[in-house]
Amino acid sequence: MTGAMYAAIGGLKTHMTNLNVIGNNIANVNTAAYKAQRMIFQESLYTTRRAGSDGTAIRGGNTPSQIGYGAQVGSIDLNMAPGTFNPTGWGLDCMIDGDGFFMVGTKDMVLDSGEVYNRAMLTRAGDFDIDPKGYITDGQGNVVYGFQMVYNPEYEPGATEAEIAQAKIEGRNIQDKLILSTQLVPLRTPLKAVEPTEENGGYDPTSQTYKWQAGDPVYNVLGAYQEGSNERLNLSLADPSYYDPETGAFADTVPPGANAPNSEDNRETEFSSEDFFEKGGAIPNRDDQKVNLESLSVNENGAIIGTADNGDTVIVGYIAIAQVTAPNGVTHTGGPYYKAQEGAGDVTVGIAGGIFPSGTYLNNAKLVEGDGDDAYTPELKNLLGQMKSIKIQGSGLEASTADVATEFANMIVTQRGYQANTRIVTVTDSMLEELVNMKR
């Protein structure tokens, strides 16, 4: 008889858990990018009163006789379906239209390998801003990861169409001064250029010409291929030991950690300071003064675009999008953040709209076919995704997927279920009371 009471108590606990889920959904009905949860009830343990039988040549079979002991929590799932677009009017606010997450974290995450996938926090909330140092950050102060525009060391000003075409055949780009690097880095606005002088190489007294203007945007540089890995990492001109403005010369090697935290290798430069200046490069301000950008916006591919003081249109970089095999399997770590842990599957990173061509790898890695010493095949996990079906909607955030009407209906059903279970406890108590009173 008391089995009914224990079953009802199990039902009470399970309905209370469901009410907690509903209450959390209702509390976050106005939370940007909140994903509603759903609890699934599951039957609890059964006791078998009589086992089933297939029967014999003489007697027929019978089904098993079993009694259950209430309900328990089967699962609590996340509904990762995209929410509706909520316009805010803020230029850097953005929403992912499709499956995927923004990648945020600290500045010191390992960037030279796919380990960054495991350390990064994933979020659907695109409430971004620019901090005093020029880093793109979210509402909690975490830096936003993406792919930056960098100086192209192979750029040749004044190249003819024939030279450009031949370079393309050879797999080189000599046409574009700025190119998109595939190194995953914290997005940061360019720095301001210093006042050009004869000492720092910005002014040519012979021709009385300036190679740049003070305040011009200064980008990082795409480095040389690293021996043994065929990867090209961004070289940070902001590092004072990389470029000496007093002598107007580049260092022979780039110090460990120059825009690549935890990297233990020195990366050789590909060009001299003279080459750099001739290709339109400038020297950044040593005080890390960021370029002031106006009319900030995020386009459908996730490019952060603004206008500098000198009128130049600046593309800070492209916001990285991470996709997991099972979006509903990500682990909620608090606030708007998730982790791609067990249950989420593999992580693929790319840019919305399929900007990267097929076969593009992280860290600008080059596939070298063959079986000799020079052969190199990048790790499969570093293959960048196409993500052609994803778009970014700017000037707005993703609304919560918690629906008030649905949650209230679920709350009513849960309340009645809880009430019914209390009646079982009451009735069982009354029956036990009658049993105790039999001796009278």
Task: Give pLDDT, residue 243.
Answer: 66
* Cross-strand bridge partners of residue 193: 284
Choose between 232 and 39: higher pLDDT.
39
Phi, psi of 119 (to 5 degrees): -90, -25
Dihedral sign of CA atoms 5, 7, 13, 14 in order: negative
In this structure, are residues 232 and 376 in contact, taking their beta carbons and an 8 Å threshold?
no
Task: Give pLDDT, residue 190.
Answer: 93
Q: Under DSSP, is residue 349 helix (H, G, I), strand (E, B) or coil? A: strand
| Average confidence (pLDDT) over 262-278 | 58
| Average confidence (pLDDT) over 290-307 | 94
Longest dimension (CA), the chain: 121
| Average confidence (pLDDT) over 189-215 | 89
In this structure, are residues 252 and 246 in contact, taking their beta carbons and an 8 Å threshold?
no
Tens-place pLDDT, residues 383-399: 999 899 999 999 999 99
Dihedral sign of CA atoms 137, 139, 145, 147 in order: negative
pLDDT at 269 over 90: no
pLDDT at 259 over 60: no
Tens-place pLDDT, residues 301-332: 999 999 998 888 999 999 999 999 999 889 98
Q: Under DSSP, is residue 275 helix (H, G, I), strand (E, B) or coil? A: helix
Residue-averaged pLDDT of the chain = 86
Q: Measured between alpha carbons, how far is 245 from 242 in angstroms, rounded to an integer?
A: 10
Task: Give pLDDT, residue 115.
Answer: 57
Q: How confident is the model at residue 112 (pLDDT cuts 50, 70, 90)?
A: very low
Task: Give pLDDT, residue 256.
Answer: 46
- Which residue intervals of 121-189 are DSSP H helices? 161-169
Tell me the residue ranges of DSSP E strands in 131-270: 136-137, 143-151, 178-186, 191-192, 203-204, 209-210, 217-218, 221-225, 232-235, 243-244, 249-250, 253-254, 267-268
Cβ atoms within 10 Å, residue 355: 18
Task: Give pLDDT, residue 351.
Answer: 96
Residue 224, burial from CB neighbour count under 10 angstroms (0-12, 13-18, 19+): middle
Task: Give pLDDT, residue 147.
Answer: 96
How distant, in Å, are the alpha carbons of 122, 317, 337, 365 from that of 330?
9, 27, 10, 29
Q: Measured between alpha carbons, how far is 32 from 360 in angstroms, rounded to an integer?
A: 33
